[in-house]
Amino acid sequence: MSATNTTAVQSPLEMIAADERALLRTGELARELLTRHADLPLQKASLRYGSEIHLTAPTAEDVRAWAARLDADVTERTNDPGYGPFRHTDVVTVIEGIQVHVGHCHMFSEAEAAAWRENRGRS
d(CA 22, CA 18): 6
Please count the structural domains in the chain.
Answer: 1
Question: What pLDDT, on the 0 to 100 scale, is given for residue 61?
Answer: 98
**32, 53 contact by CB (below 8 A):** no
Q: Is the pTM of this model over 0.85?
A: no
Walking along the chain (123 residues) 10 residues at a time, the average pLDDT comes out as 61 91 94 97 93 97 98 94 90 97 95 86 49
Q: Assess if residue 32 is contained within a domain.
A: yes
The pLDDT score that the predictor gives to residue 2 is 46
Which structural domain, as residue segments, surrounds residue 111? 12-119
Is residue 7 one of the residues assigned to a domain?
no
The CA-based angle 105-24-103, given to 5 degrees, is 10
